[in-house]
Each structure stands twice: as C-alpha cells, then as structure tokens.
Amino acid sequence: MKVRRELYILLAMACILAWTPRATMCFAAQQDQTPAALATGETGDVIEQGTFTLHKFEQPIGKETYQITLDGDTVAAKIDFKFTDRGTDVPLSVSFRSAIDLTPKSFVIKGKPSRQSTIDEDVEVFPDQVRIRDRDKWTETKAPAQFFTIAGYAPASMQMLLVRYWITHHNPEEVTTLPSGHVKIETRSKDTITVNGKEETLQRYTVEGLIWGRETLWFNEHRDLVAAITTDAEFDHFEAILDGYESALGSFVSRAGADEMASLEELSHSIAGSQAGAASDGLALVGATLVDGTGAPAIADSAVVIRKGRIVAAGPESQVKIPKHAQVIDARGKTILPGLWDMHAHFEQVEWGPIYLAAGATTVRDCGNEFEFITAVRDAIAAGDGLGPRILAAGIVDGSGPMTVGVNRVDTPEQARQWVDRYHEAKFQQMKVYSSVKLPEVKAVADEAHLLGMTVTGHVPEGLNAYQVIEAGQDQINHIAYIVDIMHPPLPADANRVARLDAVADIDFNSAEAQKAVAFLQTHHTVLDPTLAVFEMGTASTAKPPASFEPGVNKVAPELAAQLIDVGPPRPDAGMHEKAFDKMVAAVGVLHRAGITIVAGTDQTVPGYSLYREIELYVQAGFTPMEAIQAASIVPARVMGLDRELGTVEAGKRADVIVLGANPLDNIHNIRSVESVITGGKMYKSADLWRSVGFKP
C-alpha cells in the first residue's frame, strides 16, 4: 500500500519533541519500521494494527485485534477482545483517544474481563479536570500532571500503549492510572528468542499494579508488544501473543517463569522472618492456649518447644522443660494451632506464597497448573529459595471439548498413561481429572496412578456423574456441586440452569436418592473438598455484597478488590440460587456426620481469607469448631499420607505452627486472628506478609 512519507516525517518530529531520546519510534514514524502498519496518509487513516492470540494455560481460546488511527493531532485506538473460556464467551471492547505523546483524551472500556465479572467505565479528560463513569455513576476529579487511562486485566493492546506512554514521558518511577491506581514499570533485560526458526532480540519489561501481581511483557525493536504473560481476572495463567510470534509461546512462558522465580526470591529476602529454633536450645512459645489438632481438649498455659524445624515438646507449661538458653516468647492470651492446609489451591503467581502463609496455611495442594511453573515454584520453596507454603501437586489432565482447559490432553488411554507417568516422574502426589475427560480415560488415569502409588482427584466430567467416575477409580471429588447432583432425582440431559438449581434446592436428605449417594461415598471412602466459599461468592450481588459474608474483600490489594466487589444486581433466580447454596452447606454437614472425609479447600476465591470462610461454613454446616479446624489440618495430612509429619502440634512433628490472637474454639470467626506463622524453621509476622503483596493486615 502506498505510504505518504510526509505523515511519517510529521509523526517523527512530534516524537522527537515529546519522547525521551531513548525512544526511537512513535507508532509508524519511519517507513521502513511499520509494525503490522497500514497507512494512506489521509486524516483518520490507519497507522497501525495487529492481532493477538489469547491463551489460557497455553491453550488458544480467542483473539484480540487493535487498530490505531491518526486524526489531526489525535491518536485513536479501537480494540476488540474476545475469548471463550469453558463454554462461556468473554467479550471486551475499548476505545482510546490521546495526543501524539499518548496523553489521554478519552477512554471507554465495556464488556467482561472474565466469565464472572463485567466492566463498564468511561474517562473524559478536560484541561483541568477528569470525569470518570463507573456504570451509571459519574465522578469528577482534578487532572493529574501525568497519567494514563487503563483498567486492570485490560486488553494487551492497552498495555502496549501504557509502556509506550511510560517511555514517552521519561520512564517515571510510577504512572498514575485512571479510573484508579498506580503502575510501576521496570525494564528487565533483553532476551534472544527463536521465532519461526530465526533468533530475535526482544526487550523484557515487568508491570506491577495494573492487576494483582507482576506481569511480564516483551517488545520488539519497533516497540510492538509481542507477548504478555500474565493472569486473568480469575487468577488463571493467561498469555497474549502477537501474530507471527506464536511459535515462541513456550519460550515466553519459560522466561516469564524464571522472572517469577527471581521475584519469589526477592520476596523471600524482603520478608526474611526470624529464625525459629535454629539455635541449639531452640524456641519456646510459653503461656498460650494450645489447640494441638488431635481432638484433645485445649491446654491452657501451654509450652511448645521448637528446635531446628521440629517440635521437641508440646503440653502444659508445668510439664514441659524449657531449655536453659532457648529463645522464649511470651504468648499469654494467644492460641496456638497447627498450620492450616488449603486442599484446593491454584498457585498461579508468586504473590500467593506470602498470602497463604499470612493466612496461616503452611501446606497447600495445587489442583491444576502449568507443569513447568508449578514444579519450579514447588522446588524453589522446598529448597528455601522462595517464600511460600509447602506445595503438594495434583497434575491436571483434560480431554478435547468445549469445556477444555490447558494443553495436557488425554483423548486416548495411552495419552492418559503417558501424562500420569510424566507427573509421577516429576513427583506429583495426585492426578486431577478435568471436565472433558471421557470415561475410558478416567479409568486409564486412575489405573496408572494407582499402579504408581498416586491418587486421583478432580471434577466430574461433562456427561458423566459421580457414581461413574468413582467406580472408574477416582478417589476424590472437587466441589460439592458434583455430589448434590446425585442426591436428587436425575434430570434430563438438556435441563436448564434454573431446573438444576431448583432440584438442588429441593433435595430431601432422607430420600432414597440422597441415602444411596451417601452410602456409595461411604463404601468407596471418597474424599471431598467442597469449596463452599467459591459457591457462596456466586450468590453475591448489590443486595448481598461480598463483604457482608467475606470481610476479607475489604483488605485485599486495590487492583484485586475492584474485581471481587464488582457484582451486579440480583438475578431473577437469586432466591433459588441462595436456597441451592444453603442446601450445599447442609449437604456437607450430612456427609460429615455420615463419616465422609471432608477436607478444606477454597479454589482461590478471596486470596487467603477464603480459607477462613471455608472453615466458618463447616461450622455452619454442623461441624464443631474442632472438627472444622481438623478439616484444615490433620484430616488433609492423613488424606495425603503425611500425618506422621504434619497436621498436629505434637513432639517429633515438623514445626508448622500458627499463633492466633483469639481462640477459634470459643468462636470459629477467631480463626481470622492469625498473627504469626512458623514453618521451615522461620517465624513470620502475618501483618508483614499481607503488606508484602499490597494487602491490609
């Protein structure tokens, strides 16, 4: 296409005047450096455009297209972003206008950043003020001296423009962003990446503050964003790759993982913790109420002695000998518990490490992740090179279908065996079956896993029921929804959402169907992690704000809070949804009283705080406070075969110990009062850990 050189000369002059000398290109300012650019030289013509392929867990799920035009002295960008995640369309559109130096004039974003959330925001810039719209509400504020308009979990194209703005304005230490927030951008290093058989040198940056956690971006010599490795609004691994660079996806993920490991080590150094019992005479916690997790009555005025990462003694202070030169901590008025477990974690960014520890979780089971990432994080923490809880891993596999997640396909029994073998070699404890695996492959996964000494957890795949997968060898089930579905009369395959909610809400636990389900689970010794907290979050609305049942949403990092508290008005079926959730809670109580093994798991939800909520909901279901605490300590330790080492505060076990400001046996809500955490031979203050990732203590 013919290009008018005059346009590029004018643009280049504007760039020279506005940009730092380090900037060598402003959009398509040079004829021989047009990145996927088209131009005719007329006002309003396209000067740049491109397409990103969007991935979740490295699986292509959609596209993002952008187009940048020049209209007089105004740059305009139009962005269309859409992917399909497990059968749900997630569309988003953005309109952006700015001056030549990318100082914003207007910004509109509308659509869905995830399956569960929506966004509808507008920014209008005037000489001395800015008007901001969040849905139907407008506010006004004074225009900052420098700022950029962008929303968290925004399209990749806006991140590209953000970095260009940052370079244009002399790489400020921090960029104020509107509608809200502040962003820090860091130049990391240059990476040589092989793209379609040819090596190319790319500049790597990290961005912090736009979403919760660190994002890794690469730009080519023309300042095109070619790859963004990040997480989406559901905390899942998410990748955007510019057309022409798809062959390097694995390299980008690997390099981002290495950068994440460096970040994990940096966090470890910034929150070093104090040595807990490393000296020859160890550490003694004296005077606290001890709830050791065995089920025994609490011990008032206790003493717990720790040396070199092990519990040496635990019991009444009058019966425990305190070593002469031990470091003694007066814990009177406090309560000591074993470290908690989260049995449904997805450790998808390094910020989860401090969060789990801050909440008192010293062990987590990762229930599905990118293979290379989770093994690297697990091994770094185990080696003392990273800050986080002990990680036990369940290797995820899925079949091909509309609900597919990730790239670990098991469409044949042979593929199933191959993936089990690979996870076993990498020292994963379990396999996780996801939603599109067919019944023969479920059995193949289970057979191979059991042969190798592994167990199998997971979903009940589409078209199957819990009876079928458990009979095929699945040892454990994630999510109570799959169990309540076999506690009511069968529904037609095409039953809609309302009919399914209605069936759950009407479950009679004395019915033949419910009694059959309970007896079946008893016979097969099935283990369940209900994830009640995630289902409760699904009942939130403007009439029932998340903070009304989960106060932790008021303490999370601001960029994360925006996603968690952004709920819409009650749906027409809200009452039925609430009744169905109440029945789920009641079902967990019925199963517990029947002897079904229940382990606490959150499926992320509200980072850290949802583990507390899960435990609280078990008490609501009829557990005693002790039983609820055990569901997050000794019971999962037994399930994972680690009860000789972990799960209780007893002599000889590893010193995974937490100190609370109040006793949860008196009121289960006191489980939220964790003040200190001991694990791996170090003692951390929860407040420091919360602050390290932008949360309020």
Above 90 in pLDDT, residue 116? Answer: no
Work out the pLDDT band at 277, boundaries 50, 70, 90: low
Q: Is the pLDDT of residue 508 over 90?
A: yes
Band of the pLDDT at 375, cuts 50, 70, 90?
very high
**Which alpha helices (DSSP H) does 60-208 contain, by range?**
156-168
Question: 316 and 230 share a domain?
Answer: no
Residues 515 and 537 in one domain: yes
Confidence of residue 513 (pLDDT cuts 50, 70, 90): very high
* Nearest in space to 658 (alpha carbons), one of 647, 643, 669: 647
pLDDT over threshold 50, residue 694? yes
pLDDT at 538 over 60: yes
Q: Which of 233, 254, 270 corresponds to the end of one domain?
A: 270
Contact assessment for residue 177 and residue 153, using Cβ atoms and an 8 Å cutoff: no
**Over the stretch 194-238, which tens digit does the pLDDT of each residue have?**
999 999 999 999 999 999 989 999 999 999 999 999 998 888 899
Q: Which residue has the higher pLDDT, 424 or 19?
A: 424
- pLDDT band per the 50, 70, 90 thresholds, residue 684: very high
pLDDT band for position 16 (cuts 50, 70, 90) = very low
Same domain, 166 and 210: yes
- Whether the per-residue pLDDT at 567 is higher than 50: the answer is yes
Q: Specify whether 143 is located in the same domain as 194.
A: yes
Q: Would residue 436 count as lying in a domain?
A: no
Instruction: Give residue-wise pLDDT tens across range 469-478.
Output: 999 999 999 9
Model pLDDT for residues 285-318, shown as the tens digit of each residue = 999 999 999 999 999 999 999 999 999 999 999 9
Which secondary structure element, helix H or strand E, spans residue 560, and what is its range? Answer: helix 558-564
Q: What pLDDT is stored for residue 45 in this prediction?
A: 84
pLDDT at 17: 37
**pLDDT at position 12 over 80:** no
Q: What's the whole-number mean pLDDT along residues 654-676?
A: 98
The pLDDT score that the predictor gives to residue 278 is 56
User: Does residue 481 register a pLDDT over 50?
Assistant: yes
Mean pLDDT of 48-57: 96
Q: Does some domain include residue 160?
A: yes
Copy the structure tokens of residue 40: 């005719």
- Of residues 288 and 681, more confidence is placed in 288
d(CA 192, CA 659): 48
111 shares a domain with 219: yes
Average pLDDT, the chain: 91
* Number of separate domains in the chain: 3
CA–CA distance, 265 with 275 (Å, rounded to integer): 17
Residue with tokens 């055990």: 630
Which segment of 213-227, 261-275, 400-414 scores lowest on mean pLDDT? Answer: 261-275
Q: Could you tell me the residue range of the domain that residue 82 belongs to?
A: 5-270
526 and 561 both lie in a single domain: yes
Which pLDDT tens digit goes with each residue over 612-648? 999 999 999 999 999 999 999 999 999 999 999 999 9
Whether residue 3 is predicted with pLDDT greater than 60 in this model: the reply is no
What average pLDDT does this structure show over 512-538?
Answer: 97
Segment 563-574 shows an average pLDDT of 87
3-state secondary structure of 25: coil
Beta strands in 15-87 (DSSP E): 45-56, 59-71, 74-85
Note whether residue 344 is domain-resident. Answer: no
Q: What distance in Å separates the CA atoms of residue 274 and residue 633, rounded to the nearest whole number? A: 24
Phi first, then psi: what are they for 324, rounded to 5°?
-55, -40
Report residue 23's pLDDT band, with 50, 70 and 90 as the boundaries: very low
Say how many C-beta atoms besides its own lie within 10 A of residue 333's C-beta: 11
Q: Give the mean model confidence (pLDDT) for residues 508-530.
A: 98
Q: Is the pLDDT of residue 30 over 60?
A: no
**Could you tell me if 258 and 303 lie in one domain?**
no
Q: Residue for token digits 């199957």?
A: 464
Tens digit of each residue's pLDDT (9 = 90 or more) over 74-97: 999 999 999 999 889 999 999 999
Please indicate, yes or no, whether residues 140 and 206 belong to a single structural domain of this protein. Answer: yes
Q: What is the pLDDT of residue 310?
A: 96
Residue percentage of the chain with pLDDT more than 90: 79
Q: Is the pLDDT of residue 101 over 60?
A: yes
pLDDT score recorded for residue 40? 32
pLDDT of residue 280: 63
Are the CB atoms for 89 and 106 separated by under 8 Å?
A: no
Largest CA distance in the chain: 90
Which residue would you say has higher pLDDT here, 392 or 35? 392
Q: How far apart are the first and last CA of the chain?
A: 58
The DSSP bridge partners found for residue 121 are 109, 134
pTM for this prediction? 0.90
- The Cα 502–Cα 575 span in angstroms is 10
Both 217 and 318 in a single domain?
Answer: no
pLDDT in tens, 62-73: 999 999 999 989
Q: Is residue 452 part of a domain?
A: no
172 and 153 in one domain?
A: yes
Q: Which residue has the tokens 């849905």?
A: 135
pLDDT at residue 113 greater than cutoff 50: yes
Asked whether the predicted pLDDT for residue 239 surpasses 80, the reply is: yes
Examine the fold and report which residue of 585, 612, 634 is the final residue of a domain before the chain moves on. Answer: 634
309-332: b or e for each residue (b if 16 or more CB lie within 10 Å)?
bbbbbbbebeebeebeebbbbebe
The answer to whether residue 677 is domain-embedded is no
Looking up residue 294, the CATH number of its domain turns out to be 2.30.40.10
Is there a single domain that holds both residue 161 and residue 283?
no
Beta partners for 597? 527
In a domain, 505, yes or no: yes
Report the SS3 class of residue 635.
Answer: helix
Q: How far is CA 62 from CA 35, 55, 153, 212, 447, in A?
A: 22, 7, 15, 23, 35
Instruction: Assign 152 a pLDDT band (cuts: 50, 70, 90).
Output: confident
**Range of weakest confidence among 89-98, 114-123, 171-180, 391-400:** 114-123
Q: Of 634, 655, 677, which residue is a domain's last?
A: 634
For residue 425, what are the CA distances in angstroms to 249, 298, 371, 375? 24, 42, 12, 11
pLDDT at 287: 98
- The pLDDT score that the predictor gives to residue 254 is 87
Asked whether residue 46 falls in the same domain as residue 99, the answer is yes
State the pLDDT at residue 276.
65
Distance CA 512, CA 514 (A): 6
Q: Is residue 199 included in any domain, yes or no?
A: yes
Tell me, yes or no, whether 685 lies in a domain. Answer: no
What is the model's pLDDT at position 385? 85
